[in-house]
Amino acid sequence: MRRVRYYENGGPEVLKVEEAEVPEPGPGELLLRTEAVGVTLPVVRKVREGGLALPASVGGEVAGKVVALGPGVTGFAVGERVTGLCFGDGYADCSLLHSSMASLVPGGASAVDAVALVRSGIVALGAYEAARPAEGESVLVTGAASGVGHLAVQLAKARGAGRVVAAVGSMEKAEFVRSLGADEVVTYGDDCWGEPVDVVLDAVGGELLSPALAALAPGGRLVAYSSGGGTLQAYDLLVGGKSAIGFQVALIARHKPALMERWRRELWELFAAGRLRPRVHAELPLENAAKAHAIIEARANLGKVVLRPV
């Protein structure tokens, strides 16, 4: 089979496609014939900045057909289509997925739908719920054109937000985020991000944390779920009675699996009803993994970037 690995940290150019043996599924694992792989900013950053022993495989969101079951696997069968988070060879013709990380793809949905919807949708929905929004409250989403952000805009509307503001890097993305249901569009360089909002869902972090906090009305809540870091001043929280909340989906997956399952069900139900539509910026062959990473690094994507091994 083909897989993508990297032997040094750096930009997209370090990704190499190589031949490897098809792995055998171990206890609790599913072997998939990989049909789609979601490319995410945290993975792109890990390749560039390090964090794994080298050489390293590229993990990620995968979807495909089950071709073999490891010892002890229950609840899944050969031939079923599943999606989940792979920590090994995700960018590959075949991937190993632990059954605890897998969920079935319903009929009528494609593998591309699955990798564009499930993991990114869980992050978006979980971050939104972390803010404890009330019906009719206003929401601002940073990174609104991203794989997670474009779903967060739609979910806020579906969940009853009164006003949804999309924050993006440039007005070139305005038409796209408005097509998702955004009522207003602002750019990061604007001096003011419009009328204050009740909730900010921040997917960017770094230098944007301060203006994101400033965009909140008194008593508002900022949910930070990016890997971009950044700091806030306690006084800026105190003076407006504002809150900053950190959200990490991995903690929910480990400690609240029932909640994860509820979120998955809601995502697929909204998808089936046509109220949540994952958008795909590009579908690229495995050999173009470097191009996929370059799109993400340039923040050029409108929606999800997907690799198609087959």
pLDDT at position 228 is 74
- Alpha carbons 190 and 213: distance in angstroms, whole number: 14
What number is the average pLDDT over the span 51-60?
Answer: 92
pLDDT at position 231 is 85
Contact at 8 Å (CB) between 191 and 130?
Answer: no
Residue 191 has pLDDT above 90, yes or no: no
Contact at 8 Å (CB) between 112 and 85?
Answer: no
Residue with tokens 């340039």: 298
- Alpha carbons 115 and 271: distance in angstroms, whole number: 13
Tens digits of residue pLDDT in 171-181: 999 999 999 99
Average pLDDT, the chain: 94
pLDDT at position 229 is 77
Distances (CA, A) of 282 to 38, 44, 271, 308: 11, 16, 20, 10
Pairing of strands 163-168, 138-142: parallel
% of the chain exceeding 70 in pLDDT: 100
What number is the average pLDDT over the span 230-249?
Answer: 89
Task: Give the chain's length.
Answer: 310
Contact at 8 Å (CB) between 206 and 184?
Answer: no
Residue with tokens 């090994």: 88
> Would you call 60 helix, strand, or coil by DSSP?
strand
Q: Which of 50, 61, 197, 209 is nearest to 143 (CA)?
A: 209
pLDDT at position 226 is 82
Domains (range + CATH), the chain: 2-105+279-308 (3.90.180.10), 120-250 (3.40.50.720)
